[in-house]
């Protein structure tokens, strides 16, 4: 039974996904909230944090499936 290494680009893809989720989603939510007269910083921060945690959960699920199917085999 051999252990394979984590894919080389998995961390880079995760960081790219994280940057897109936090920056882009947070920015557009901020702009939308400001145009509606709401607190843009609050809405942008909440949605950016939610995007961060959802991206983290998605990455961990995919990594767990990869580990169970490829590495543990």
More confident site: 14 or 16: 16
More confident site: 67 or 35: 35
Every domain of the chain and the residues it spans: 10-71
**Which residue do the tokens 């607190």 mark?**
39
Q: What is the pLDDT of residue 55?
A: 82
pLDDT digits 0-9 by tens, 20-36: 878 888 899 999 999 99
Q: What is the pLDDT of residue 58?
A: 86
Q: What is the pLDDT of residue 2?
A: 46
* pLDDT > 70: percent of the chain: 85
DSSP one-letter code for 38: S
How far apart are the C-alpha atoms of 26 and 23, rounded to whole Å? 5
């Amino acid at each position: 039974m051999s252990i394979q290494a984590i894919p080389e680009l998995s961390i880079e893809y995760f960081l790219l996904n994280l940057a897109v989720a936090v920056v882009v989603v947070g920015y557009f939510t901020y702009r939308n909230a400001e145009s509606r007269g709401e607190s843009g910083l609050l809405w942008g921060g909440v949605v950016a944090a939610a995007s961060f945690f959802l991206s983290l959960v998605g990455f961990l699920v995919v990594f767990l499936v990869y580990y169970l199917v490829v590495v543990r085999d």
